[in-house]
Structure 1
């Protein structure tokens, strides 16, 4: 994949490559939770899983998922609304606890994805290798998680200069290791205190920590892979993004992906009747509480124009 842009004066797509040590750490944070997810079903059969673990996993799943969908994605990447300093920092920390990359890394990568969606330069399109069954199999793996194992790092100065210039976000970004630690340690601490046992801490660490992180990883990555291959496309967009309803609840509305790519800065992705979008409802609540302002809600005339083009 080319990492340069042919436009005169354009900054490179990639700023640097990860070191061997960074790659080892990255693979550990991707593969250890995945191993926990693989072990989850056999271990659930008579070992460890209880209602406390499920409740803790659900709570941390919701917080981290909304941190990604409302914070990383709709707010930081696309500017779907504006907020004050406290909510901005809180969303950045909550998104970091999903363990999908630091806030500036995530935003830069996703803005690059939109700039080159399903074309050369897109960091995680499933269509980069062709349309044969083997090429699409390779593309699915690449889009789902394979791209995360590459050494290249998207150029922050080109794709996220506004975040780089924000002192608060630079601090949150720098302490990404701390938010990962809290994402794993807080469930274990609460599990131990609420059960008043070391075993409660161990099972909470496994289920509400490792398994929860891995499950959220694959829900988010499915938007990159499945939602660019399968689903409905009621709106015109420049790429193959599709709406895939089975993921709507788990992804908090992110799988209405065709709608999103047709109107990226819109705060609501589920814009048609019956399309549940939990993240949009949270933004609506923020607006009612006056924590969010200048929210970019969908406009009927824009939706109609996009549907007409797709027809």
Structure 2
């Protein structure tokens, strides 16, 4: 498997000199979320992180006190997996790494579904992740947990940085350098620029459905609490755990030039993304869970898209390729 020429993720290249990243003058961004974060944007980011997180913390005692309806749970699960697969299949495997090609309607649908996850504008997300692969766990990686060293205090600080802290860094990835292919697409550029609209829509769908089904304001409120706030918080922390936990612990059966590991207990919630060691060994692979018993719902959906004719030129990993990447001599990390 090789990287498509229109994908600029740098995953097949050796780590570049991060000094050259800082020296280059930033080009104007064509999408919402440019190459530096303004104070108002950082405040908004803090709000969107803390509000859902507080809802997640409050979820258990609130459920214990007055319960949660099947409608609330249904909305939480449905919206969670729409957004999660929008990120894993769309933002990550398709837009970032070119693991397959998609017909235009699927391309647009994946861009919108990923935007409903409330994880930032599409172009910025892709640019950050391509840069992550270019410098993975080395100087220049936007969110490596090994940023501050390998002692226990340094790793604790690094895990916080990789999980949340890096998003508040004023120095941002140059989008013109890392995602020029997306910026050139008017439809994708528009979807990325309209991130605030997709966020509002994502938060509004559960209370709208809950209110209409129950015909009550209380039904709208509980649907908003579970289907909007708790859902967003849970999806955020699962996604961020791929940056932090999956680069600190986990089994490493495949050869890669970083510390990416497979964390099995995150597989279902992350839609297959936590089989992270294979991903960094073969970044353009459409399937991450390649060994027996490794659930990967994102790969299953891509297979269905392929059979329907919506996706094509899918980069499925071959047995020979997998065998070549095996590194049985390297001890696994718990």
TM-score for the superposition, normalised by structure 2: 0.89
The reply to whether residue 223 of structure 1 matches residue 242 of structure 2 is yes
CA deviation after TM superposition for structure 1 residue 42, in Å: 1.1
Match of 1:278 in 2: 297
SS at match of 2:60: helix
Distance 1:131 1:8, change over 3 A: closer
Q: C-alpha distance in 2, partners of 1:268/1:62?
A: 17
Distance 1:13 1:299, change over 3 A: farther
The reply to whether residue 294 of structure 1 matches residue 305 of structure 2 is no
Do 2:306 and 2:314's aligned partners in 1 also have CA atoms closer than 8 Å?
A: yes
Do 2:117 and 2:235's aligned partners in 1 also have CA atoms closer than 8 Å?
A: yes
Do 1:11 and 1:158's aligned partners in 2 also have CA atoms closer than 8 Å?
A: no
Count of residues paired in the alignment? 309
1:241-256 matches, cutoff 5 A: 241-256=260-275
Distance 1:86 1:200, change over 3 A: same
Match of 1:157 in 2: 176
1:207 to 220, 226, 230: 226
CA deviation after TM superposition for structure 1 residue 73, in Å: 0.3
CA RMSD of aligned residues (A): 1.9
SS at match of 1:45: helix
Q: What do the CA deviations read for 1:2-40 (whole angstroms, capped 9, x no partner)?
A: x97345998468974211111111111111111111111
The reply to whether residue 234 of structure 1 matches residue 234 of structure 2 is no
The reply to whether residue 98 of structure 1 matches residue 117 of structure 2 is yes
Match of 2:4 in 1: none
Structure 2 unaligned segments of length 5 or more: list them: 1-15, 28-33
Do 1:5 and 1:11's aligned partners in 2 also have CA atoms closer than 8 Å?
A: no
Match of 2:149 in 1: 130
Q: What do the CA deviations read for 1:85-139 (whole angstroms, capped 9, x no partner)?
A: 1111111111011111111011000000000000111010000100111000000
The reply to whether residue 110 of structure 1 matches residue 123 of structure 2 is no
Do 1:67 and 1:93's aligned partners in 2 also have CA atoms closer than 8 Å?
A: yes
Distance 1:92 1:137, change over 3 A: same
CA deviation after TM superposition for structure 1 residue 309, in Å: 7.8
Q: C-alpha distance in 2, partners of 1:54/1:219?
A: 18
1:11-90 matches, cutoff 5 A: 11=24, 16-47=35-66, 49-90=68-109
Q: C-alpha distance in 1, partners of 2:202/2:67?
A: 20
TM-score for the superposition, normalised by structure 1: 0.95
Match of 2:11 in 1: none
Q: C-alpha distance in 2, partners of 1:120/1:161?
A: 23
Do 1:192 and 1:201's aligned partners in 2 also have CA atoms closer than 8 Å?
A: yes
